[in-house]
Structure 1
């Protein structure tokens, strides 16, 4: 995503609003694919998959560092999002 220097508070806020919209769209898309993956899971362990969670966390922390953003913030956001998706999967889970 191209970054541009803003000339006003309004311009900065407009960019933030556009990013928020894109983030929500991406979260919805991620949820769609989590739901798709859930179709292939056979056990509660498959749903919770702590090893996979840690793989994702390590990957996003590394990406955050590469992009110069706070890896602790990214980890916190991802852990919360993943936990919510796991809860969603468990509510729908039927072995």
Structure 2
């Protein structure tokens, strides 16, 4: 829960602390994304638009419960998911090529 800050420096220090936690969580999420590439058969499986929409619906609900702005949360998640899909597509392509050197 956010504390009430009395200076801009205190606000920035708290944001910096949260950024450290967020980046650590992004790294963990990225490792799971890398693992997911092993289970998907093709690029369409990587893109998984239905799964994207499930995640968006879930995080919008989580945002409402947590008192976050659902629109901001959705925008952040859509950008994050798009970036992770690009990472996963590259990893999937490398795995496919490694499994089929003729490709």
2:43 alignment counterpart: 44
TM-score normalised by the chain length of structure 1: 0.90
CA-to-partner distance for each residue in 1:24-54, whole Å, 9 max, x for gaps? 1111111011111111111222101111100
What TM-score, normalized by structure 2, do the two folds share?
A: 0.83
Q: Write out the 4+ residue segments of structure 1 that deviate beyond 6 Å after TM superposition.
A: none
Larger Rg: 1 or 2?
2
Superimposed CA distance per residue, residues 34-77 of structure 1 (whole angstroms, 9 cap, x where no aligned partner): 11111111122210111110000000000111111111111111
Q: Which runs of 5+ in 2 are unaligned?
A: none
Indicate the residue corresponding to 1:23 in structure 2.
22
CA distance in 1, matches of 2:90, 2:15: 34
Tell me, which stretches of 5 or more residues in structure 1 are unaligned? none
- Provide the alpha-carbon RMSD of the alignment: 1.4
